């Protein structure tokens, strides 16, 4: 059994961090989600989730260089940890497993 289950929002944040690779910092993640999912997220919600994921050891972070556009403040870049990757993998497999278990006609029915 897994230690814990990912929440929906947590999963999306983890995936977005994975997409952005080395460029995953707070604001970039929000923008990316807005662009791809058309889902607007407040900094507050985002930061809380990032902190939580970091605490659960699915993410690590370190501070980057300062940039002028940010008023001289440094960015905090997030990376997936091995644990983070493996839980994403698990989640995906769980979903796929569930999808595959659905009898065919319903899938067809759903597609109509």
Contact in structure between 46 and 30 (CB atoms under 8 Å): yes
What the block records as the tokens of 29 is 């993640």
Looking at 19, 37, 43, 102, which residue binds other proteins (CB under 8 A)? Answer: 43
Looking at 48, 60, 89, 94, which residue binds other proteins (CB under 8 A)? Answer: 48
The yes or no reply on residue 96 touching other proteins (CB under 8 A) is: no
The yes or no reply on residue 70 touching other proteins (CB under 8 A) is: yes
Integer Cα distance of 109 and 105 in angstroms: 6
Dihedral sign from CA coordinates of 83, 85, 87, 90? negative
The yes or no reply on residue 71 touching other proteins (CB under 8 A) is: yes
Pick 4 or 86: Cβ nearer other proteins: 4
Contact in structure between 51 and 11 (CB atoms under 8 Å): no
The yes or no reply on residue 20 touching other proteins (CB under 8 A) is: no
Integer Cα distance of 13 and 74 in angstroms: 21
The yes or no reply on residue 38 touching other proteins (CB under 8 A) is: no
Binding site for other proteins (CB under 8 A): 25-27, 30-31, 42-45, 47-48, 51-52, 63, 67, 69-71, 73-76
């Amino acid at each position: 059994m897994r230690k814990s289950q990912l929440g929906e929002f947590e999963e999306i944040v983890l995936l977005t961090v994975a997409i952005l690779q080395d460029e995953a910092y707070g604001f970039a993640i929000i923008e990316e989600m807005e662009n791809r999912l058309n889902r607007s997220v407040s900094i507050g919600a985002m930061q809380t989730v990032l902190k939580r994921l970091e605490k659960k050891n699915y993410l690590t972070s370190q501070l980057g260089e300062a940039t002028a556009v940010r008023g001289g403040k440094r960015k905090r870049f997030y990376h997936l940890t091995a644990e983070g990757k493996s839980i994403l993998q698990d989640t995906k497999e769980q979903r796929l497993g569930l999808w595959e278990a659905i009898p065919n006609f319903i899938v067809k029915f759903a597609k109509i």
